[in-house]
Amino acid sequence: MSNAPPAWPDLRVLDPVSAQEFPAIVAAHHAYLARRPGGRRACLKFRDLSDLDLTGCSLAEADLSGACLRGCTMVRANLRGANLFGADLTRVDLTEAILADADMRGVAMSDARLIRTDLTRADLREGMLMAAYAGDIRQTQTVSATTLFRAVVIEARLERAKLSNSFLSQADLRDSDLHRAVLARANLTKADLRGCNMRGADLTCANLAGASLEGVILIGATISCTNFDGTSLVGALLDEGDLSHAKIRSSIGTRNFRELDVGLAQILSAHAMWTQSGGQSGQRADLTAVDLSGLDLRGVDLGAAVLHGAVLRRTNLAGALLAMADLSLVDAREANLMNADLRGAKLERATLSRATLMEACAKPLLIAGGHRCPTDCTSARLDHACLLRADFSMALLVGADLTNADVRRTNLSGALLNGAILSGVVLDTAVLDGADVAGATGIEAPLMALTERCGLQIGGGPFDALPMSRGAPCATD
């Protein structure tokens, strides 16, 4: 008879939960949450729920530690405060699910989908799950770090989430809210962080090598020993002090207009000649990533100019001609664009917070062939901006942030406002005929009243049958 200790079982072989067993567990858990007699908290630790359809399921506060949820569909599931310590969430679909305050230490979420998922205050730090057998304690995992390799985390809420030491390499975090998130020592190599709000985030010793950080907000972030090698920070918003970091300066690539090889006046003169001659003489202005902040450029002609990633903070562009100009990723906070011509301009991911766009013209530009080129403000930041009596008819404002913007008597007829943030916006006097607000948030006026008054659309779009193009020769309309 052998005195050898009993063989250690394979802890990765978990007890499966059948589709027939699961409804009874959920029903008892719902009774537990409602504090009804007979209720029982769902205990699914070390259970195998892989590939189950848990759409809309409520497992708030449930114990799913060490569980296998590989390939599960958990769209709009409620897992608030749940214990997911060491769980396997590989390839899980958690689109619009609630995971606020959940314990997610050491979870594996490679290739997971977390689109518009609420991870507020979730704990995603490293964690190693242990188990006891025959008096012995062993690890049940080979990796302790929370892994979101190649995960799709678009427009997710991660405010104050704990992500220290997490592995987020190649993750898609576009437009997610990481306000005050802790990312100390996190691996974010080659991650897509475009448009993220990382205000006040802790990036101490984080590795951001090769990451895309265009238009990211880093104001108030802790940047100490952070690796920015090979990153792109065009259009990023930072504290003035952060610009002293050599690596950050090189990543942003911003140049002061005084450092240009050719003087600004000469560039503007050559551009005017280029536009007037239809491109036969002169030269198109290319002011990519040039710092023009605070300058008086009233009435300037920069139609079809390239100002991608330029800094226009507090710049006076009143009455400026900017039709068909590339203003994507510009930092135009507090800029004066009163009466500016923005027809057909590209303002994708531009920051226009507290800018003055009173009576600005941003309607479509009629171009060769009778096509209309709409003004593109996709994912632009227009919070607290003044759009009084401005014309944004048929503009693309998909995903734009218009929090507390002044849109009194603004023409938004036919505009696409899908997914836009409209918190604090008074729409009573705005012209909204045919506008599409599907997925927009923060609308305070009764939606039905607006729909009846101005034909507001909650689906579809005004350009479905309208030919559009960009880059063709300009023509006056």
Cα three-residue angle 131-77-169, rounded to 5 degrees: 65
Is pLDDT at 119 greater than 60 in this prediction? yes
Among 154-163, 280-289, 367-376, which is the least confidently predicted range? Answer: 367-376
Q: What is the mean pLDDT of residues 21-36?
A: 93
Provide the mean pLDDT of the chain. 87
Confidence of residue 261 (pLDDT cuts 50, 70, 90): confident
Confidence of residue 243 (pLDDT cuts 50, 70, 90): low
| The pLDDT of residue 102 | 98
Among 7-16, 301-310, 402-411, which is the least confidently predicted range? Answer: 7-16
| The pLDDT of residue 259 | 83
Neighbours of 40 (CB within 10 A): 12
Is pLDDT at 173 greater than 50 in this prediction? yes
* Strand-strand pairing, 255-256 and 290-291: parallel
What letter represents residue 88's amino acid?
Answer: D
Closest CA to 326 of 471, 165, 173, 157: 471
Residue 120 · residue 98 · CB < 8 Å: no
In the numeric block, the tokens 């991650």 are attached to: 191
Q: What is the mean pLDDT of residues 318-335?
A: 97
Structural domains of the chain in order of their starting residue, each with its CATH number: 259-477 (2.160.20)
Is pLDDT at 465 greater than 50 in this prediction? no
pTM: 0.82
Among 8-12, 91-95, 441-445, which is the least confidently predicted range? Answer: 8-12
